[in-house]
Copies of this chain bind each other. A is one copy, B any other.
């Protein structure tokens, strides 16, 4: 695609986005006519083809329809997409974490390519620059020093940490490279962070719903989870958190501040600042799981809470697994005042990361293609989100609420109370070769039985559209349901 094509394409998408927002915000209402193509061309200095493309796109998304010889009109069902779900209300207090077979059953389904991956935790692999990564692997392999096994002991490959440091710097964060410890993916970063700040029996605050792996990590380390009420658009409720911090004296918070899994929600910049300040007053460390931060759909990168950290209490955990190289298992933690402790824990836990993968990523980042790749990836995800949201709006029971993530690749659907229970729905869907991630995966209290996490990290097409339709059909309450046993055997995982 030429540069010119690109800029043209960008302009028509910008226009479509702007109009879509006006429709969703109620500025343009059902039945309203869009400005004529000619008027829009003149007002915005755009070519007719750009404006037409924008209108076609809106039509394809079901937001407007063309009326012969009259122009484009806002659709009646477009006025409101599924509304957002309400804030969660977890049981108060600390609870021992109990992990069920459910997570493994759902992850087992994700391993089979026969199953439509609405419940998958991963995006589609073709979204990643696998060829460029292969080249970097080959190039960096040739240069691997015989001493790298020693040199790359924690904190890990220096060139890669420099590249990561540069990216922080571009976001206004000037971190010491010593603070950045490379890990086997973000999961190890999070687990080491937990171990650096908490001991068995301690309480840790998590969101509700929250990423099941957080609950599993807590369980494994003998920690106790306190779930804080969480707004599906804005994240953890800070006044509730303040109460919990006072009352339960937790040893840490583990929050996903951007595009939270499973909700897709983000804390605003102001809220992140307030969170960091609240926790700093009580000297409570924040384990910030920011693995989706690079996958924002709008034009502006979100901040991390780490940005506001003045006391070194934020352990910022990231990885390349969601944004660049799944399977390489390279993550890191910028551990603030816990850098030394995390380095030691890393050395004790797994000695070092895998050297070829670290070297390859250092090379890839040095080549400079990462931001270009990210821009494309964000756009693809944004489009796929739109397609999924539209499909859910079309096919799910009336009354379904849906989150509005501005990044990542998950939405959270909250079905009306009379809909099929999510656990039943999970089994019914699996029997039709479709995975979903039922709400109870994301709570240690069995909550969210009307909720699903849906993945839009896969190229949209008829198969996904049909799968959403099927899940929507299965979700509608029926007189009698035959619930088959789950066909997925977790021996595969």
Contacts and interface: CB of A to CB of B under 8 A. Distances in A.
Interface centre among A188, A195, A344 (most CB of B within 10 A): A344
A134, A217, A345: residue with the most chain B Cβ atoms closer than 10 Å: A134
A441 to B, nearest CB: 13
A110 B111 CA distance: 41
Given A134-B144, A354-B184, A349 B125 contact: no
Interface string A103-147: 010010011010000000010011010100010011001101011
Interface string A301-328: 0000000000000000000010000111
Given A137-B137, A149-B122, A107 B327 contact: no
A108 to B, nearest CB: 9
Interface in A85-104: 99, 104
A213 interface: yes
Given A327-B352, A355-B329, A146 B134 contact: no
A493 interface: yes
A222 B220 contact: no
B130 A134 contact: no
Q: How large is the interface on A (under 10, 10 to 19, 20 to 34, 35 or more residues)?
A: 35 or more
Given A188-B349, A200-B200, A347-B104, A134 B125 contact: no
A152 interface: yes
Contacts of A149: 122, 125, 326-327
A321 B142 CA distance: 20
Interface string A186-198: 0110010001000
A150 B188 contact: no
A351 interface: yes
A419 interface: no
A353 B329 CA distance: 7
Interface in A339-379: 340, 343-345, 347-357, 360
Contacts of A330: 354
A191 to B, nearest CB: 7
Contacts of A329: 184, 350-355
B352 A104 contact: no
Contacts of A345: 220
B111 A150 contact: yes
Contacts of A99: 348
A408 interface: no
Which 10 residue pairs of A and B lie closest in terms of their CB atoms, listed nearest first?
A149-B327, A354-B354, A327-B355, A149-B326, A125-B146, A216-B348, A354-B357, A184-B350, A329-B354, A200-B222
Interface of A: 99, 104, 107, 110-111, 113, 122, 125-126, 128, 130, 134, 137-138, 141-142, 144, 146-154, 178, 184-185, 187-188, 191, 195, 199-200, 213, 216-217, 220, 222, 321, 326-330, 340, 343-345, 347-357, 360, 490-491, 493
